[in-house]
Amino acid sequence: MRLPEGGALLSSKRSVKQSGGADKHSFAQRGLLLVLAAGALATSAAGSGAGHAGKVAAVCWLGSVVYIWLWIGKDRRERFFKKCEAVATIMKNYLDGCQVSQLPANKIDSRGPLKEGLPPLSILPDPPAWVRKAAEERTGTGYALRVNRAFRRCGLLKDEGERIEVISVQSGPAAARVTVSLPDGLRLTRLQHMTSDLASAFGVESLQVTPGMHAGSASLIIAYKNRLPVVLRTILESEEFEEFLGRSELPMVVGVNDIGEPIMIDLVSVRHLLVAGTTGSGKSWFINEVLVTLLLSRGPDVLSLVLIDPKRVELSQYRGFPHTITVATETAQAVAALESLVKEMERRYTIFEQAGVKNIQQYWQRTGDRSIGYIVGVIDELADLMSTARKEVEVLIQRLTQLARAAGIHMIVATQRPSVDVITGVIKSNLPSRVVFQLISGPDYRTVLNVDQDLKLRGKGDGVALLEGHAGLVRFQSPGIGANDNDADLAVSKIKDFWVNSGHKTNPVHIAEAAVEGREQHNTAGETGENSKLRAAPGPDMVRLPDFPEVSGELPGGESIEYGNPPEAESEEIRKFKIIMAQAWQDAVEAEMDQITAPSIRSLRERMNIKQERVMELIDLLIREGWIQAPPVPKKPYLIVAGENTLKNYL
């Protein structure tokens, strides 16, 4: 007699065991069906008036429940209870109002002004009805229900009974924040390194992991596929902004965070601001929103504006406001405006010295004289000015950003191209607060923020801020004045009409008379008629800064401008850096090397006598100019790829 093989024997035993289990399972089902059938018959009999049928029906139904309870087993009962507990927690958080919609719940009078004498907020457009409806419907609970499945799919939960507890669920216009309690042994850093895997498990485009508000917790910031627009009026009507307005000098709205909470700063506290973002990133919307917020919250007796707009189309709508001193569109006008701000700064410091005070706030407190107000200077495109008048612009911005804060003068500098030849080390060191929207490449983010981090900004107002007095980067969604450009333009026009018709007095902003005379030297001799009205009227000591006349081709001081060819093509530091690269190329050619590599970072740092951060900025610049190429393999030297003729010009 032949014995079965080992595998067949095991298979046979397994089939018998499974068959026995199936028989038991079938028997249990038949028993349950019998009890349910008896219960149904007894219930029917009880309805017909049978004596003891009601009691029999109750016993049958109770017995069927106990039978099912015992039949499903202990493990299934525990899993059932945990699911019920998770759903109950989520629903409790939902009912407690833990989700925060895009529209602030607490509002002030939606039709009145922020303060008496200011424009009413009803000037601003309301958010569209579909935005309000969508904000109310978004709760984020769908993401919360996926937490355990996503964590298990990523291998973060290995035991069958191990689960993640959801602490809270909050929702905003761009993302939902799900805060979870981390089990023992699961570290926050591990989650942060697995954001791509978690995003895939949740089925979303992007996901961030940040520390939670409680010990041993983490917040999952899960981006919605379709972001809701944020409208400025909803923030200005909130109680948070009303409270902030009372303790700030120049209030600014940065935007809302991932769950719709407003992010606000005082420009006086952050001194000056650098704004960077490509076309379509939301940079222009941000600048206009900042200006509208200032115009709605401060009168011309407190605030004056000096606007520089080389593109001619972004800030021209602010002409005619009593706050606006000038809107400069030509390079010569821009340089004259910056020079005038420097002279006004020096004049104010002379007054402060005589009064024995250190800054404008102390001057107001000691003298009671409020005739000296704040000035905010806005440059909408720094790259254009740096390409046509680099030397003058860099020196003037350096002086203003270093010294003007105490004099009540604050700068907002914006650019589409934040390369190291535009945002030089001198400018960047004096602009510690920075707002960044979507940029073209990683080196651009590193130039502005000094962090080597893949931010994955999505455009259309999605930004990060590095603010003085705040730790780390702050992610936000910038608001718009309205849902579209037409609404925004109409709102600005209504605000202008209010201020023009209000009869508010304007505090004069003075400059030294010599500065006006210096500008007048460039006007054509013997000029009469309408053009002569553009000149500033002389005063006894000081005169009001007028709108600048149309000047082209010359800078104050007689220096001519050749548009497109900067007066100083490149700084001495960049030229020296290129000379080092050219010498390295020549040495490699003479040695007949196969690959021509750049000197090491350490060598460049020692030869240039600069910090490593500055070396990396210069390397990024040369990569953009096509001088060098990043190594194909990490930790390998850069390759020199510039043409022979280009390199020989630096030898």
Print the SS3 string covering 560-614: ECECCECCCCCCHHHHHHHHHHHHHHHHHHHCCCCCCECCCHHHHHHHHCCCHHH
Helix axis angle, 572-590 to 601-608, nearest 10°: 130
- Phi–psi pair at 611, nearest 5 degrees: -75, 160
Contact 256, 233 (CB under 8 A): no
pLDDT of residue 499: 93
Dmax over Cα atoms in the chain, in whole Å?
A: 130
* Global confidence as pTM: 0.64
Can you point out the beta strands (E) in 152-268? Answer: 165-171, 175-181, 207-211, 217-223, 251-256, 262-266
Q: Which helix (H) or strand (E) holds 242?
A: helix 239-245
Residue 196: both structure tokens together: 């791509």
Contact 180, 220 (CB under 8 A): yes
Contact 236, 107 (CB under 8 A): no
pLDDT of residue 546: 36
Amino acid at 44: S
pLDDT of residue 353: 93
Contact 305, 325 (CB under 8 A): yes
Task: Report the candidate in 182, 202, 204 with the shortest Cα–Cα distance to residue 191.
Answer: 182
pLDDT of residue 414: 94
The gap between the terminal CA atoms of the chain, to the nearest Å, is 97
- Phi–psi pair at 337, nearest 5 degrees: -65, -45
Q: In this structure, what DSSP letter does residue 113 have?
A: B
Task: Report the candidate in 442, 467, 472, 443 with the shortest Cα–Cα distance to residue 457.
Answer: 442
Q: How far apart are CA 50 and CA 44, in angstroms?
A: 9
Q: In this structure, what DSSP letter does residue 406 have?
A: G
pLDDT of residue 409: 96
Residue 130: both structure tokens together: 């579909």
pLDDT of residue 81: 67
Q: What is the dihedral of CA 330, 331, 333, 339, to 10 degrees?
A: 160
Series of mean pLDDT values for 10-residue runs along the chain (651 residues): 40 42 55 69 64 68 69 64 64 46 41 76 88 81 89 85 87 89 87 89 87 88 86 91 90 90 92 91 92 94 93 89 93 93 94 93 90 94 89 91 93 90 83 90 82 75 86 86 87 93 67 38 37 32 35 37 38 86 86 81 86 83 79 74 81 80
List strands edge to edge, sheet with 165-171. 165-171, 175-181, 217-223, 207-211
pLDDT of residue 640: 86
Contact 46, 53 (CB under 8 A): yes
Task: For strands 251-256 and 217-223, give the pairing.
Answer: unpaired
Query: What is the per-residue pLDDT across 300-320, written as a single tens digit (0 to 9) for each?
Result: 999 999 999 998 888 999 999
Q: How far apart are CA 632 and CA 630, in angstroms?
A: 6
| CB count in 10 Å sphere of residue 444 | 23
Residue 266: both structure tokens together: 């005082």
